[in-house]
Structure 1
Amino acid sequence: MTIAVVVNDAGIITTITEGSVLRILAHDGSTENFRNPALDLTEGRRGAALRLAIEKGAKIFVAPPETFCELSYAKAQSENIQFYHLPSNSPYEAFTTALANGEITLSTTLPEAEILPSVPVKK
């Protein structure tokens, strides 16, 4: 399955709004990097990054704590996105090694305490 992960310039997996790169890992092992659209927005940041991941065929999202807000998490679940839940500050290389070795568990949910409240849209 195709995996989406957001990484920063230091190669650390970040939340959906922090990293500069949205990386797509295809099932054949290839990767493709995109500028994280969340960086260019002040509202709807998580949703924009999630939309790009879905457009690129991602069915799994790598999710450290606070990656999703209530709205983006609900959207991810409605799209049947699954998750690799990781601790904060996980190096990308460590993730890919753990993935290759079958040391990481796929989940259909994330811990409720790690989902941020959605910010209401200002009028």
Structure 2
Amino acid sequence: MLIAAVIDEKETILPIVEGTILRIFDTETSRAEDFPNPAVQLKTGRRGATLQFAEEKGATTFVAPPNTFCELSYKAAQEDKVEFIHIPSDTAFPNFKQSFLNGEIKVQAFLPDKEILPS
């Protein structure tokens, strides 16, 4: 499985529009590849652009701290059958990775409504 997460230089997982790095993590090899976050360069359509780029790289799952998706990007993700890993704010990527590989974090089809921002 390929999992997308937006992170900062300290490897903290952030909502799509806040981090400068889009990390694609391969759960089968435990390898990660980093890309510049497309949202950084845009004024509109930021979440959708990052989601689309992650999907183009093969990601089928997106790590989602609170406020990662707005209504439009969340709807697009659901239409594309993207799954989600809901995590608390300020989660470090190494901690997430270890918890996921240990089976402590689950993939889900939906996010809590309160976590989705208005478009």
**Rg larger for:** 1
Which bracket does the TM-score occupy, shorter chain normalised?
over 0.9
CA distance in 1, matches of 2:25, 2:13: 14
Unaligned runs of at least 5 residues, structure 1: 119-123
Question: How many Å apart are 1:28 and its aligned residue?
Answer: 2.4
Query: 1:24-43, aligned counterparts within 5 Å?
Result: 24-26=24-26, 27-43=28-44
Residue matched to 2:23: 23
With the length of structure 2 as denominator, give the TM-score of the two structures. 0.97
Could you tell me which amino acid in structure 1 is paired with residue 47 of structure 2? R
Runs of 4+ in structure 1 displaced over 2 angstroms? none
| 1:62 matched to 2:63 | yes
CA distance in 1, matches of 2:33, 2:94: 15
Deviates more, 1:27-36 or 1:94-103: 27-36
Question: How many Å apart are 1:100 and its aligned residue?
Answer: 1.2
With the length of structure 1 as denominator, give the TM-score of the two structures. 0.94
Query: 1:7-22, aligned counterparts within 5 Å?
Result: 7-22=7-22
Aligned partner of residue 13 in structure 2, secondary structure: coil
CA distance in 1, matches of 2:97, 2:11: 12
Overall identity of the aligned pairs, in %:
49
Question: How many Å apart are 1:11 and its aligned residue?
Answer: 1.0
Aligned CA RMSD, in angstroms, stands at: 0.7
Question: How many Å apart are 1:47 and its aligned residue?
Answer: 0.4
Residue matched to 2:88: 87
Unaligned runs of at least 5 residues, structure 2: none
Deviations 1:52-83 (A, max 9, x none): 00000000000000000000000000010001
